[in-house]
Structure 1
Amino acid sequence: MTVGTIPVEAGTIRRPMLAEVVANRPLTPHLRRITLTGAEIDRFGYDGPDHLARIFLAPAPDAGLHLPDSAQWWPALQAMPEEQRPVVRNYTVRRLDTERRELDIDFVLHGDGGPGSAWARNAAPGHRIGLLSDGAAYAPPADTDWQLLVGDETAMPAITAAVEAMPPWTRAIALLEVGSAQHRIEVDTPAGVTLTWLHRDDAPAGGSATMIRTLRELALPPGTPYAFVAGESTMVTTVRRHLCTERGFPRERVYFGGYWKATAH
């Protein structure tokens, strides 16, 4: 069974599990989809399209991967010798197939400045990684009439997975900001969803006014909304302020997640 919004029936493993790379394929010049497999992936808990996975990477390219063997993984991690302690980062699950025991994660590449990016550039079949299921935030209330999904490259896995999981009668507007047309990916978009790609062109990621300018010019549908806004922290804060202050969105109907800061590379 390929799991979408259905919880994994076999039960969730609450400690880091070991997985290895099956495939590493480029989706765009700066986006890699890495398929992972492991004996326990059929017990990776999955709550929805923006489900978070904590990944555990070896502390150095030539070091072994040692995982905390406990549901109390954080104290166990801190107790490990520094030369063995894995690096931990957060990524979104793009696809989970429990029958095949496969899980996809899309990695945005930005050189070797970050451990996740550096690992993803060179990950090959057989390379090992640790995974921990850590929940999802995308949760439109039952009385939602329409949805607004806003994000940049780092939010593409969550937003595109949410779009593809929507029933055909869902009304939604999705806005995804990327560097240029070559950074788009194919998305299976239901009939009721409008997906618009926005291009920063020469502006750096996190330094563009393209998203907020587009939103200010956008005619929004009537009815009760739900907004999911994720990506670079400054962009997310600006969009949330616009929706709640200028558009009158109730704050409790706007999820916002600052995945990264433009000054933190």
Structure 2
Amino acid sequence: MSNIKLIIEERPSNIGNFMVGRLLPFREKRMVGPFAFIDHMGPTCMSDYENLDVPTHPHIGLSTLTYLFEGSIMHKDSLGTEMEIKPGQINWMTAGKGIVHSERTPEYLRSSNKMLHGLQIWVALPKELEEMEPSFFHVPENQIPEWETDDIAYKLIAGEVLGKKSPVPVYSPLYLLELKSTTSQTVTIGEYLFGESALYILEGSIESEGNVFGPKQILIAKDSKLCTFDMVANTTIYIFGGEPFPEERIIYWNFVASTKELIENAKAKWLTQTFDTVPGETEFVPLPEQNKKDK
């Protein structure tokens, strides 16, 4: 019997002036553990007149995780943070009761050709922490736990698993693991996983129970404890998951919450522009409902 419960394919989505591959949420699977949203950015080659420009927009009830393979993004937020993220580093922004941020190509790259490739992920907060104070945390590449077993390079981007712990300050039991193979290998790590679990194939392919799966797919496991598969040479995958919350989460635009009231309050705040502002930013992304009214 197959341990694969669901296969999710990337779907194209526009985030302003930049196309991404959306993986979560999906109509048949809204979340995996606390993971509520995953976008695969690129790989995109931008010429000297093309830049990433996502103006200020708000979040509540979640933490965002940005992890780049290529390129660079300048993050600015309403806490006064101004942080460039480069490949191999992690930006972890916790919205809590509310934060506003922008994401743009850094000034020194705006007039040159550049690449952008990475993952953007939302992790929902537990109900008791939904309205916590917002915060921002940056992790340099050399602080991320890395090790090698059987010609597979492991990196623990967030959470705690396999006897390792990432410095990213997560707020519920979860894991986000990167695995890179240089040779064909069998991976058996189910005994260490917990909660709901999924596998995302960035490049290469894996084989499970006689079936071959390729890039831009998420495989949702029926039982994380049965997680065994074969990685072909030169494959990169991400295994993520964790304990699901007892309550459902509502996702509206950039807001994640356990109640409609929190969502409606955030919508009203953005419509009246009473969220804290980002220093130096004047543009903002309108609420989707306002966009429709203006047309």
Please give the TM-score of this superposition, normalised by the length of structure 1. Answer: 0.31
* Structure with greater strand percent: 2
* Structure with greater helix percent: 1
